[in-house]
Structure 1
Amino acid sequence: MSDHSALFSLPHQQQLCPLCQQPLVMKSSKSGPFLGCSAYPACHYTKALHQHETTIVKVLDSELCPQCHHPLAVKNGRYGMFIGCTHYPECHFVVHEQDEQPEAEKLACPKCKQGQLTERVNKFGKHFWGCDNYPKCKFLLNDKPVAGHCVACHVALLIEKKGQLFCADKGCGIKQPAPE
């Protein structure tokens, strides 16, 4: 038996599902490998193989957490850089991007008319704009929304693509004339 095959023939400790005590098995998804319960679909337990560590890049001694008054820090996590409390896990305070948006930039959601469009970032780092009334309203845009009215269909929202304005209605999508 070669050294390589010996690695695969070693007995390994079988992990059990904490919910139903069935063996956990290696599974794969578009996000990568993970451990899942062998009793699926009766049991939906999953466990990540890789823990996503958050590292502190710089402590901001002059900025204090509004919840626990410990210093805030610039951190690097699973979805990129963010500002959070140094007293984690006791304190879960995080500065969210939408908290930093000025009120003038916020636009009313054209679908539900109750929420406002806020900029968000998906797990791949791509920016998009969605209604802050989610999950009740699932309106979203991949391009930056701009206040205005379409000259053709009169929808009360435009989007900016490559420096030009277009109607936000997917059915219309007409290029808008440059503002005067």
Structure 2
Amino acid sequence: MARKIDQSLFPETQKRQDNQEHCPECGSALLIRHSKRGPFKACSSYPACDFSKAMTNNDGHVVKELGLPCPECGDELVLRQGRYGMFIGCSAYPVCQHIEKRESQPQEAKSAIACPECGTGTLTERKSRYGKTFYACDAYPKCKFAVNQTPVQGACEACGFGLLVEKKSANGNYKQCASRKCQHRQTEVEPEV
């Protein structure tokens, strides 16, 4: 024997009955739905009517007032927390949609060491998206040579590859062949005094 479930136990059904809003496009009742981006109101006659409206405002709430004038309208610039992170925008949003551009990234440091793979480019210090430093050929995407350690001018004793990298260990620093196939540890020759 099937039991009937008391619908009054669910607060959503009470909300729908008490605050019944109607769709501005077709006049049907609006229902509260949930998605990964949060709750939203949707038309009950979906798919015939595809009206939906977000219940949360993702315009970016104000974190701090900066006290600087907007270059477009003269209102105050504010620091906002938006969907994709922090940004600086006009306090008169949405009337003025001015957003400050991010400062350009620092120039990459070029070294005088030529790329051992292509011979035409030079090795450039770069940062990965995780903030780690690596050295890559500036002729990318034609040449995809890159190393994670600091490059050092010189040739490998074992294979003759035209680049060495500086490695650090508990016993001190040493040089190693930059070729992934070789990776020979170089013997340090003491300069004569």
Compute the TM-score of the two structures, normalised by the length of structure 1: 0.49
TM (norm. structure 2) is 0.47
* Structure number with larger C-alpha Rg: 2
